[in-house]
Each structure stands twice: as C-alpha cells, then as structure tokens.
C-alpha cells in the first residue's frame, strides 16, 4: 500500500487514526499499532513480515543484554554482542539487497581474467523498507551500548517503534531515543489540533508528490531514457528536472510521514530543510535526508574518527562515509560513484575551508553547491555509468545545443523547472510554515488535497521506496 | 555533515550526563538544551536536540475541529464538482451521458467509419487484436483475388470485438457473405470484459450489450463507479473543459487513428527501428508478464461464448473461417512460458480443436513463427510484426490451408 493511494488515504489512515484514539492508552493501543503496522507492511508482501520481525528483534535482544551489562562499560563481551547484532543486520541487508550486485561484479572480474563459470544468479524481491528498518535497528543497539538511551521498556514498545507504518517504506530513519521514547511516555490525549496539523503536513506532502514531482516525471523519464540523444538544453532539462523531481518527491513523502505520525500523536524528525539553499556540501547534507546523514554521521563518520585528526584523516573518513552512503541507496555502480562524488565534494570543501579558499559571496556558494548537487543527481538517476556520462556530456555542450528534435525540453517541463527553482530558493519549507486553524488555510489545503487526489489516477510509488 | 561544523551542544562522554528520552527534563522541540561545549572524543555521540514539527495551537481545540471539518468539506466539494464536470462532459464516453461528442476517436470508430465508406462489400474480413492490424488487405487481395477489409482492433482479449465487427459488417452489407481470416491470440480468452472502446462506439456497443445511452440513474452510478479512476481525474477534467470550450475542434485534435487507419482498414505501414524496439519490447515483457502472473489463469467462459457465437454466425452465413493462432516473438515466449503461457497455449489449442466437429473452420497454429520463416528483426516488440513478417505469415497460411475456402451462402439468403 502506497502512502499516495486511495486505499491508504481514504480507508487505512482514517480507520487506524480513529481506532488508535478510541482504544485505551497503554498496551492495548500499542498492540493495535503493531497490528496496523504489520498489516500495512504485509499488504506489500506478507512473506517478508517474519524477516522484518527477525531482523529487528535481534537488535532488541542485543539491546536487552547490553543494558544488563551496562556496568561492564566497553568490555570485550559487550563489544562482541554489539558487533554480532550489527553483523546480523548487515548480513540480512547484504543478502537481500546486494547479493546480486556482488555476484555480478565478481562474475565481471572472473570474466575479465577469462576464468570461471558464471555464478548462479538469484534475484530476490527486495523486502521493502529493509534499508530503513535495518538502520533503525542498528541505531537502537548502538545507542543502548553507548548508554545514550535506556533500552525499550518492553518488546511491545520496541516493535511499535521499529515497525511504525509511516516510516517503514521510505523513512525518515527514526531512532528509539526520539520516537520510541514518545511511545513510552504517557501517551497523550486526542486533540483536534493533532489532526489539523497532521492534515497540513499530509496535504503539503501529497501535493508536492502528485502536483509537482509526478507532473515532471514523464518528461524527465523521457529525457533520461534517450540519454544518448540529448543536447545542451535537453541535458540540463533532464538534470534540473530530476533534481527538482527528486526533492519534491522525497520531501513530499517525508512531509506525509510526519503528518501521519502527528495524527497518532508522534513527532518525527525533520528530514529536509530547504537543501537547495545550502551554501556548501556539508551544509547540503545537514539539509537533505537529514535523518540518513545524521545516521551516517553518528554511526559511521564519528566512529571512524570524524574530523578530529589531520585533514587527510578527515578526507579519508568522508570518502568512506559517503561511499557507503551511496551504496546504501542501491546495489549499482552509479550509486557508488554518486556517493564517492559527494565524498570528494565534501573533501574539497574541507580543504578549501582550511585554506580560506571558499567564496565569500553567499549566492555564489549557493549556486556552486546547487550545480554540484545537480551533477551528482545525474549519477543517482542514470541507469548506467554510460547513461550518466551521456547526460553529462550533453550538459557540457559536447553534443550540440539542441539534441534530437523530439527531445526538446517541453514547455511544461521548462515551466516546472523555473517554478521549482523559484520555490526551492525563495519559499519557506513545510517546517517553516506555522499551520493555523483558519478558514483560508482550510480552503487552500482543501483545494490542494482535492487536486492531489484527482491526480492520483494511477499508482506512482515514491522514488525512495525502491531504496 | 562534518561534526566540527555542527553547533549543537555536546556532552563529554555522550552518555548519562544529559537527560535521557523519557526523563522529564529530556529536551524535545523548543526545550533548551544543556550547553556543554567540551570537545567530543572520537567515537562518542553528541546528545542532539531534535526539533518538533510546527503545530497548531494545542489549545485551539474547537477551532481545530472546524478547520478539519472545513478542509474535508472543501475537498469533497471540489471533488464532487470535478466529478459532475466529467460526468456531464464525459470526454471519453466512459459513462455514456452522450451530451457532448467524445474527445477521442477510437480505432473502433474509425473502422466503423471505414466499413460504412466501402464502395462494395468485403469478400474477406481480417479479424483479431492489434496483432492482426498489419495483415494487409492489398496483399491478401493479390494472393486470393478477394476484396479484403481489415477489421482488427486494439485490445487483449476481444472475442466480443470480433462478434461486434461481424455483426456490424453484416448490418451494413446484409446481402454480403464474406469469409474470415480470424487471427486468434492465446490471450483472446483472458477474463472477459467488453472493451471500453467498443462500449463507447454506439454502432458496435449494441452488439455486446454495452450500449449506455438512455440509462437510468442506477446504471449511471454503476458506470461512474466502474470508471471511477477516469471520472475522479484531473486529466479527464482538463479534457472535459476542452470539450466544453471547443466542442468539435477538441474531437478532431485527438483522432490520431484517422490518419493511421487506411481505407481498407489496415494500420499504416511503419518501418522497424532499433529505437522503437528498445522502447516497446520491455513494455510488452512487463505487460504480458503481469497478465500471466496476475490475471490469466484459465480460459474465460464468457470469452469462449463470444468465440463460439461468432463461429456459429460465420457458419450460418456459409463461411468456413480460417482460424490462425498468432505468432509470438520467441524471445518473449521464453519469458512468458514459465509464467503460464505454455499451459494456456495448450489449453487454447485443445479448446479450438475440440470445436472441430461442432463448427466448420480451418485452424493453423502459428505461435512459433519459425514455421513460416520469420525474420526475428521484424517484430516491433514481443507480439507485433511488421508487414515483412505478416506477408510471410499470409503466404504460409494460404499454402497450408490451400487458400481461403469458398463461401456457400445460406439458401434462405439470411
């Protein structure tokens, strides 16, 4: 079930919200929430529900035992226990998400040396959300190990958090210390303000997805599918189009997730903070997919040593972090390269900052960062390195100005690009708007909601669901 | 993302000196975070303040209720207005209000126009799905000497379309007694549904019981429900408005089939290109894989009923049709066979062969195109062939069947 489907918006969500508030607080409500979560997840493919439970319960068990041995500090036994939990999580993730990629890559290496038969290729259906719940689970075990949080009050609280339906498909990556703790606190009473605020976020997110991202998608897809025939204008049309499409798609999903969570009294963390207003690569990642960049910072970059060493040491850590961050998005060389590119951007910024070489003019910094992001998104979107190279060559003007006649940037796409650029640069983001219970807000949101629902004639999954 | 850039407060050991989640003093939202600025050892975490999303004033309970109610009502009103607009304009003829012309002219409409425009009745009629639309009447005429019309129309399934087309031709030319080259697909027996394009063409709809004109409120409601995705749609609303504003101009702007379907009913020749193949082949893999995985699990009795009804009509008119099971690109067959296509193919062949005693027809299975020496490069996608291959298929069919059987018109001249 997609968040942008009639079934979810008109049936599942209202039923769950009503029952959630009707059911008595405490364990009954949490049990109902777990049932709703598993039903929601199981609708996609019920066979993966046991996998979801098995993966995440490993972390709960690890957290349980780590908490009991808290007085041992950083003993070898605790470290082993934590390592085991992380290995189990990564093993599940690796097997389901990356097996095919590594087998294909190994095959390629063997073929290069003219040796070996092709390895048996098993293509498994990727359990939806595995990248998100695995990272959530790991963060739990590590936080308990570090003493950052107390372990979950009960397995019920833990499951209600880790399987939470608003985030399970595509994030944001929530941590027990934040959202789980809210479930532990005495759950609040129903208030219409919660529904009003939740609706505000849901409508804003749905409108971003259905009325902007999905309107751009056919044009962008068409340009990328003809990557070899693009010219300067169509190349930039493709890249800028995708840059905006992805932002409106994913920030739209995140807004919806936040809104749905608020309707059941939970506060999710912010995931986007006007990323295209960023003034340098580091700033960009404090604004884009904030929960992922926060995760990578806290559970990868800092354990690697962070920036507390020489510049070279920092650069090494940045490259490793972003390389793995890229690979997290998907088993493909384009993602690996995309991650590496961001690692290079960050490294260049660190070095430039150290030697005082960063431009002083804010707008120039913003433009440079935006162009860097746009170039990187080409690798993120392209289906192969060859396709990415074609688009970049077109953007560099190496394939002429116009490209093939049929691939001119459609006026509609051009309008969306101009409008989108103005939006992301000049307007406040959803978190900067204070929802107010006023009629004019209701009127605007009602029209937006109706338009978004009317644009939902065929299923179109959010882009990040595939990760 | 580098921690040194981050101004959020830290704790020296990242552990219990700060309040934990769940503690009354745990900072959430606007709460003030403890400001400890000591350096953080590698591997340790900062305790970060996570801001809450902006919310409506919690005290504004009553106003919040009215806000939610107003929002829901406004949404419902806008959606109802769009529904009303789409039902009244009915730009695709989906619900059959027939107050305005439709903006789309389907291949059914064009074929019906072409049949009505024929100067003399056809002696041979080609029936079938889109896969039959490039079997050229001119080539058949050259080979058989029979005046031929291609009445094939788009859409998987379509035994009801074949029925409607034979009936319509008979209605237009009641004295004629054509024979038929019926290109049957393995997928002709998918779960039955009268194609919306057929139901929207009144000249054909009446033969399949799908005519929608003059329906009552209940039928209208049912039609709206069946077409709810189209009716609750912004793009439909756009066409509805265009229709209301431009009327007939709107209709002309959408009739792509007017140019593509020639006077003898054949679909205009189009050359094969690698680009076209790369675009279309993956779509056919997806489409037919989904069909076999999710829909086509057995032969549908309603499709079989239309199939036999049509055969009986043809026989009653003195015709002995040539039934040909259409070819499939071997590359696609390899993918679909394990998904159930092989079994369905056997079932279709057995079924048609089982009708041999009951009806008069000649049957030939061209599923494997290698039997007529096809050119693998002359498939547009997984199913559709260029005329280079259809001509080879025609040669093979005529050779194997000894030509089109003569028609013996019924004595009563019905």
Across the A:B interface, residue pairs with CB atoms under 8 Å apart total 194
Give residue B114's Cα distance to chain centre. 23
Chain A partners of B5 at a C-beta cutoff of 8 Å? 282-283, 286
Count of C-beta atoms within a 10 Å radius of residue A70? 15
Closest listed residue to residue A350, CA positions, set A278, A281, A297, A275: A281
Answer for the pair A411, A251: CB distance below 8 angstroms, yes or no.
Answer: no
Q: Across the interface, which of B5, B66, B68 has its CB nearest the CB of A282?
A: B5
Give A412-430 pLDDT, tens digit per residue. Answer: 888 999 999 999 999 999 9
Q: Which pLDDT does position B324 carry in this prediction?
A: 95
Q: Which pLDDT does position A73 carry in this prediction?
A: 66
Closest listed residue to residue A267, CA positions, set B397, B383, B51: B51
Which carries the bigger pLDDT value, residue A123 or residue B85? B85
Give the pTM: 0.71
Distance from B398 to chain A by nearest Cα, in Å?
Answer: 42
Q: Which pLDDT does position B396 carry in this prediction?
A: 94
Q: Across the interface, which of A148, A193, A285 has its CB nearest the CB of B55?
A: A193
Parallel, antiparallel, or unpaired: how do β-strands B148-150 and B179-184 relate? unpaired
Q: How far apart are CA B299 and CA B306, in angstroms?
A: 12
Question: Chain A residue with minimal CA distance to B229?
Answer: A457
Portion of chain B with pLDDT greater than 90, in percent = 36
In chain A, positions 427-456, which contact chain B (CB-CB < 8 Å)?
Answer: 431-439, 441-443, 445-447, 449-451, 453-455
Instruction: Please judge whether B52 and A267 are an interchain contact, meaning their C-beta atoms are less than 8 angstroms apart.
Output: yes
Q: Is the pLDDT of residue B102 over 60?
A: yes
Which ipTM did the prediction report?
A: 0.83
Q: What is the mean pLDDT of residues B142-151?
A: 93
Chain B partners of A185 at a C-beta cutoff of 8 Å? 22
Query: Where does the pLDDT of residue A60 fall: very low under 50, low under 70, confident under 90, or very high at 90 and above?
Result: confident
Chain B partners of A82 at a C-beta cutoff of 8 Å? none
Residue A45 region, left (φ>0) first, then alpha (ψ -120 to 50), else beta? beta
Q: How far apart are CA B127 and CA B326, in angstroms?
A: 12
Phi and psi at residue B269, in whole multiples of 5°? -60, 140
Q: What is the mean pLDDT of residues B285-312?
A: 89
Instruction: Please judge whether B53 and A437 are an interchain contact, meaning their C-beta atoms are less than 8 angstroms apart.
Output: no
Which carries the bigger pLDDT value, residue B228 or residue B28? B228
Q: Which pLDDT does position B4 carry in this prediction?
A: 39
Instruction: Please judge whether A450 and B74 are an interchain contact, meaning their C-beta atoms are less than 8 angstroms apart.
Output: yes
Q: Across the interface, which of B44, B59, B234 has its CB nearest the CB of A455?
A: B234
Instruction: Please judge whether B42 and A303 are an interchain contact, meaning their C-beta atoms are less than 8 angstroms apart.
Output: yes
The CA–CA distances, whole Å, from B26 to A46, A298, B329 equal: 37, 19, 66
Asked if the C-beta of A406 comes within 8 angstroms of chain B's C-beta atoms, the answer is no
Question: Chain A residue with minimal CA distance to B68?
Answer: A196
Distance from A103 to chain B by nearest Cα, in Å?
Answer: 22
Asked if the C-beta of A98 comes within 8 angstroms of chain B's C-beta atoms, the answer is no
Q: How far apart are CA B410 and CA B179, in angstroms?
A: 13
Q: Which pLDDT does position A124 carry in this prediction?
A: 56
Asked if the C-beta of A354 comes within 8 angstroms of chain B's C-beta atoms, the answer is no
Give A2-26 pLDDT, tens digit per residue. Answer: 888 888 999 999 999 999 999 988 8
Chain A partners of B279 at a C-beta cutoff of 8 Å? 225
Residue A413 region, left (φ>0) first, then alpha (ψ -120 to 50), else beta? alpha
Q: What is the mean pLDDT of residues A389-405?
A: 81
Q: Across the interface, which of A296, A435, A439 has its CB nearest the CB of B70?
A: A439
Query: Where does the pLDDT of residue A408 fall: very low under 50, low under 70, confident under 90, or very high at 90 and above?
Result: low
The CA–CA distances, whole Å, from B107 to B53, B113, B168, B211 equal: 53, 10, 15, 17
Give A272-317 pLDDT, tens digit per residue. Answer: 999 999 999 999 999 999 999 999 998 999 889 888 888 899 999 9
Question: What b-and-e string marks burial along B16-38, b requiring 16 or more CB atoms within 10 Å of the CB?
Answer: eebebbbeeebbbeeeeeeeeee
Test the A interface: residue of B41, B63, B75, B282 with most A CBs within 10 Å: B75
Q: Is the pLDDT of residue B17 over 50?
A: no
Closest listed residue to residue A60, CA positions, set A52, B262, A129, B109: A52
Q: How far apart are CA B186 and CA B339, in angstroms?
A: 14
Instruction: Please judge whether A199 and B233 are an interchain contact, meaning their C-beta atoms are less than 8 angstroms apart.
Output: no
Of A157, A227, A289, A329, the catalytic one is A329
Instruction: Please judge whether A147 and B15 are an interchain contact, meaning their C-beta atoms are less than 8 angstroms apart.
Output: yes
Instruction: Please judge whether B64 and A225 are an interchain contact, meaning their C-beta atoms are less than 8 angstroms apart.
Output: no
Query: Where does the pLDDT of residue B34 fall: very low under 50, low under 70, confident under 90, or very high at 90 and above?
Result: very low
Count of C-beta atoms within a 10 Å radius of residue A13? 24
Test the A interface: residue of B14, B43, B44, B53 with most A CBs within 10 Å: B53
Query: Where does the pLDDT of residue B9 fall: very low under 50, low under 70, confident under 90, or very high at 90 and above?
Result: very low
Question: Chain B residue with minimal CA distance to A186?
Answer: B22
Q: Is the pLDDT of residue A406 over 60?
A: no
Answer for the pair B344, B296: CB distance below 8 angstroms, yes or no.
Answer: yes
Answer for the pair A148, A167: CB distance below 8 angstroms, yes or no.
Answer: no
Chain B partners of A196 at a C-beta cutoff of 8 Å? 56, 64, 67-68, 71
Count of C-beta atoms within a 10 Å radius of residue A326? 24
Query: Where does the pLDDT of residue B256 fall: very low under 50, low under 70, confident under 90, or very high at 90 and above?
Result: low
Phi and psi at residue B237, in whole multiples of 5°? -60, -35
Q: Which pLDDT does position A339 carry in this prediction?
A: 94
Chain A partners of B52 at a C-beta cutoff of 8 Å? 267
- Annotated active-site residue A178? The verdict is no
Which carries the bigger pLDDT value, residue B345 or residue A306? B345
Which carries the bigger pLDDT value, residue B8 or residue A268? A268
Give A129-162 pLDDT, tens digit per residue. Answer: 888 888 999 999 998 888 888 888 899 999 999 9
Q: Which pLDDT does position A285 carry in this prediction?
A: 93
Token pair recorded at residue A150:
């107390």
Q: Across the interface, which of B1, B20, B55 has its CB nearest the CB of A149?
A: B20
In chain A, positions 248-287, which contact chain B (CB-CB < 8 Å)?
Answer: 258, 262, 267-270, 282-283, 285-286
Chain A partners of B234 at a C-beta cutoff of 8 Å? 451, 454-455, 457
Asked if the C-beta of A298 comes within 8 angstroms of chain B's C-beta atoms, the answer is yes
Portion of chain A with pLDDT greater than 90, in percent = 49
Give A109-123 pLDDT, tens digit per residue. Answer: 766 666 655 555 555
Q: Across the interface, which of A148, A442, A451 has its CB nearest the CB of B45?
A: A148
Test the A interface: residue of B1, B44, B84, B290 with most A CBs within 10 Å: B1
Count of C-beta atoms within a 10 Å radius of residue A272? 22
Question: Chain A residue with minimal CA distance to B83?
Answer: A454
Distance from B346 to chain A by nearest Cα, in Å?
Answer: 29
Burial (CB count within 10 angstroms: exposed 0-12, middle 13-18, buried 19+), residue A63: buried
Give A76-130 pLDDT, tens digit per residue. Answer: 788 888 899 899 888 888 888 777 776 767 667 766 666 655 555 555 566 788 8
End-to-end CA distance of chain B: 84
Instruction: Please judge whether B63 and A437 are an interchain contact, meaning their C-beta atoms are less than 8 angstroms apart.
Output: yes
- 3-state secondary structure string across chain A: CCCCCHHHHHHHHHHHHHHHHHCCCCHHHHHHHHHHHHHHHHHHHHHHHHHHHHHHHHHHHHHHHHHHCHHHCCCHHHHHHHHHHHHHHHHHHHHHHHHHHHHHHHHHHHHHCCCCCCCCCCCCCCCCCHHHHHHHHHHHHHHHHHCCCCCCCCHHHHHHHHCCHHHHCCCCCCCHHHHHHHHHCCCCCCCHHHHHHHHHHHHHHHHHHHHHHHHHHHHHHHHHHCHHHCCHHHHHHHHHHHHHHHHHHHHHHHHHHHHHHHHCCCCCCCCCCCHHHCCCHHHHHHHCCHHHHHHHHHHHHCCCCCCCCCHHHHHHHHHHHHHHHHHHHCCCHHHHHHHHHHHHHHHHHHHHHHCCCCCCCHHHHHHHHHHHHHHHHHHHHCCCHHHHHHHHHHHCCCCCCCCCHHHCCCHHHHHHHHHHHHHHHHCCCHHHCCCCCCHHHHHHHHHHHHHHHHCCCCCCCCHHHHC
Answer for the pair A163, A133: CB distance below 8 angstroms, yes or no.
Answer: yes
Q: What is the mean pLDDT of residues B54-80?
A: 88
Which carries the bigger pLDDT value, residue B73 or residue A464? B73
- Least confident range from A271-275, B142-146, B379-383, B409-413: namely B409-413
The CA–CA distances, whole Å, from B322 to A299, A467, B373 equal: 71, 52, 20
Instruction: Please judge whether A432 and B229 are an interchain contact, meaning their C-beta atoms are less than 8 angstroms apart.
Output: no
Parallel, antiparallel, or unpaired: how do β-strands B148-150 and B124-128 relate? parallel
pLDDT, mean over chain B? 80
Instruction: Please judge whether A432 and B1 are an interchain contact, meaning their C-beta atoms are less than 8 angstroms apart.
Output: no
Chain A partners of B229 at a C-beta cutoff of 8 Å? 457-458
Give residue A271's Cα distance to chain centre. 8
Instruction: Please judge whether B74 and A297 are an interchain contact, meaning their C-beta atoms are less than 8 angstroms apart.
Output: no
Instruction: Please judge whether A181 and B21 are an interchain contact, meaning their C-beta atoms are less than 8 angstroms apart.
Output: yes
Question: Chain A residue with minimal CA distance to B13?
Answer: A146
Which carries the bigger pLDDT value, residue A110 or residue A192? A192
Q: How far apart are CA A166 and CA A322, in angstroms?
A: 26
Q: Is the pLDDT of residue A330 over 60?
A: yes
In chain A, positions 189-208, which contact chain B (CB-CB < 8 Å)?
Answer: 191-197, 199-201, 203
Question: Chain B residue with minimal CA distance to A318?
Answer: B2
* Sheet strands side by side (includes B362-365): B148-150, B124-128, B179-184, B322-325, B362-365
Is the N-terminal amide bond of A406 cis, ω within 30° of 0? no
Q: Which pLDDT does position A257 carry in this prediction?
A: 94
Token pair recorded at residue A53:
């439970």
Q: Is the pLDDT of residue B299 over 50?
A: yes
Q: What is the mean pLDDT of residues B91-97?
A: 75
Chain A partners of B76 at a C-beta cutoff of 8 Å? 450
Q: Is the pLDDT of residue B50 over 80?
A: no
Token pair recorded at residue A76:
């070898």
Q: How far apart are CA B247 and CA A330, in angstroms?
A: 50
Distance from A398 to chain B by nearest Cα, in Å?
Answer: 22
Query: Where does the pLDDT of residue B24 fall: very low under 50, low under 70, confident under 90, or very high at 90 and above?
Result: very low
Parallel, antiparallel, or unpaired: how do β-strands B322-325 and B124-128 relate? unpaired
Q: Across the interface, which of B21, B46, B79 has its CB nearest the CB of A454?
A: B79
Q: Which pLDDT does position B294 carry in this prediction?
A: 81
Q: Which pLDDT does position A263 carry in this prediction?
A: 94
């Amino acid at each position: 079930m997609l968040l942008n489907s009639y079934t979810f918006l008109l049936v599942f969500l209202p039923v769950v919200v009503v029952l959630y508030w009707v059911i008595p607080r405490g364990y009954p409500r949490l049990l109902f929430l777990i049932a709703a979560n598993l039903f929601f997840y199981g609708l996609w493919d019920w066979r993966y529900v046991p996998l979801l439970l098995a993966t995440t319960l490993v972390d709960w068990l690890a957290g349980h035992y780590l908490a009991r041995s808290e007085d041992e500090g950083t003993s070898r036994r605790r470290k082993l226990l934590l390592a085991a939990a992380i290995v189990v999580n990564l093993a599940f993730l690796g097997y389901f998400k990356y097996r095919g990629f590594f087998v294909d890559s190994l095959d390629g290496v063997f073929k290069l040396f003219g040796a070996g038969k092709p390895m048996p290729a098993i293509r498994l259906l990727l359990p939806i959300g595995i990248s998100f719940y695995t990272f959530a689970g790991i963060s739990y075990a590590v936080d308990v190990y570090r003493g950052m949080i107390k372990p979950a009050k009960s397995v019920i609280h833990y499951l209600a958090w880790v399987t939470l339906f608003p985030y399970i498909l595509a994030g944001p990556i929530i941590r027990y210390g934040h959202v789980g703790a809210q479930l532990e606190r005495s759950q609040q009473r129903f208030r219409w303000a919660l529904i009003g605020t939740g609706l505000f976020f849901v409508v804003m997110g749905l409108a971003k997805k259905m009325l902007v991202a999905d309107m751009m998608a056919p044009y962008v897809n068409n340009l990328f599918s003809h990557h070899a025939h693009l010219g300067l204008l169509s190349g930039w049309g493709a890249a800028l189009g995708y840059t905006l499409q992805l932002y409106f798609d994913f920030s739209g999903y995140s807004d919806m997730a936040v809104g749905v969570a608020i309707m059941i009294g939970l506060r999710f963390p912010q995931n986007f903070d006007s990323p295209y207003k960023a003034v340098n690569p580091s700033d960009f990642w404090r604004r884009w997919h904030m929960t992922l960049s926060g995760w990578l910072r806290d559970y990868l970059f800092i354990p690697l040593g962070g920036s507390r060493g020489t510049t070279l040491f920092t650069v090494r850590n940045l490259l490793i972090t972003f390389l793995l961050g890229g690979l997290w998005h998907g088993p493909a060389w384009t993602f690996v390269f995309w991650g590496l590119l961001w690692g290079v951007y960050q490294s260049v910024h660190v070095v430039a900052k150290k030697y005082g070489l960063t431009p002083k003019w804010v707008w120039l910094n913003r433009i440079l960062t935006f162009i860097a992001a746009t170039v990187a998104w080409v690798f993120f979107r392209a289906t192969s390195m060859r396709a990415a190279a074609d688009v970049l060559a077109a953007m560099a003007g190496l394939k002429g100005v116009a490209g093939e006649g049929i691939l001119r940037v459609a006026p509609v796409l051009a309008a969306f690009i101009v409008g989108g650029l103005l939006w992301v640069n000049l307007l406040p983001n959803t978190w900067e708007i204070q929802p107010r219970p006023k009629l004019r807000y209701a009127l605007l949101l009602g029209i937006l909601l109706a338009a978004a629902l009317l644009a939902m004639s065929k299923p179109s999954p959010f882009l990040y669901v595939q990760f | 993302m580098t921690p040194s850039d981050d101004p959020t407060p830290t704790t020296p050991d990242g552990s219990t000196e700060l309040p934990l989640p769940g503690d009354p003093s745990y900072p959430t939202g606007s709460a003030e975070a403890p400001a400890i600025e000591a350096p953080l050892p590698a591997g340790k975490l900062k305790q970060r303040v996570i801001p809450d999303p902006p919310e409506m004033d919690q005290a504004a309970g009553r106003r919040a209720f009215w806000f939610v109610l107003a929002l829901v009502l406004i949404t419902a009103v806008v959606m109802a207005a769009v529904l009303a607009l789409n039902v009244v304009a009915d730009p695709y003829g989906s619900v059959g209000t027939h107050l305005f012309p439709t903006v789309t002219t389907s291949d059914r409409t064009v074929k019906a126009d072409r049949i009505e425009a024929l100067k003399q009745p056809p002696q041979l009629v080609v029936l079938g799905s889109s896969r039959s639309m490039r079997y050229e009447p001119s080539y058949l005429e050259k080979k058989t000497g029979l005046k031929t019309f291609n009445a094939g129309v788009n859409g998987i399934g379509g035994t009801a379309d074949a029925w409607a087309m034979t009936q319509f031709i008979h209605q237009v030319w009641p004295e004629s007694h054509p024979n038929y080259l019926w290109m049957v697909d393995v997928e002709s027996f998918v779960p039955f549904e009268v194609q919306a394009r057929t139901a929207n063409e009144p000249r054909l709809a009446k033969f399949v019981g799908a005519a929608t004109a003059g329906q009552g409120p209940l039928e209208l409601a049912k039609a709206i429900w069946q077409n709810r995705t189209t009716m609750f749609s912004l793009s439909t609303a756009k066409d509805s408005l265009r229709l209301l504003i431009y009327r007939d101009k709107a209709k002309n702007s959408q009739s792509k089939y007017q140019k593509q379907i020639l006077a003898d009913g054949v679909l205009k020749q189009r050359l094969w290109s690698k680009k076209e193949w790369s675009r279309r082949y993956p779509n056919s893999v997806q489409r037919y894989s989904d069909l076999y995985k999710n829909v086509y699990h057995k032969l549908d009795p309603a499709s079989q009923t239309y199939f036999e009804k049509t055969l009986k009509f043809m026989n009653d008119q003195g015709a002995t049709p040539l039934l040909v099971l259409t070819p499939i690109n071997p590359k696609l067959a390899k993918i679909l066979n394990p998904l159930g296509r092989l079994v369905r193919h056997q079932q279709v062949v057995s079924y048609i062969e089982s009708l041999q005693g009951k009806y008069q027809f000649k049957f030939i299975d061209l599923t494997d195109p290698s039997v007529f020496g096809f050119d693998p490069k002359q498939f547009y996608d997984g199913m559709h062939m260029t005329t280079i291959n259809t001509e080879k298929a025609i040669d093979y069919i005529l050779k194997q069947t000894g030509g089109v059987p003569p028609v013996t018109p019924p004595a009563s001249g019905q």
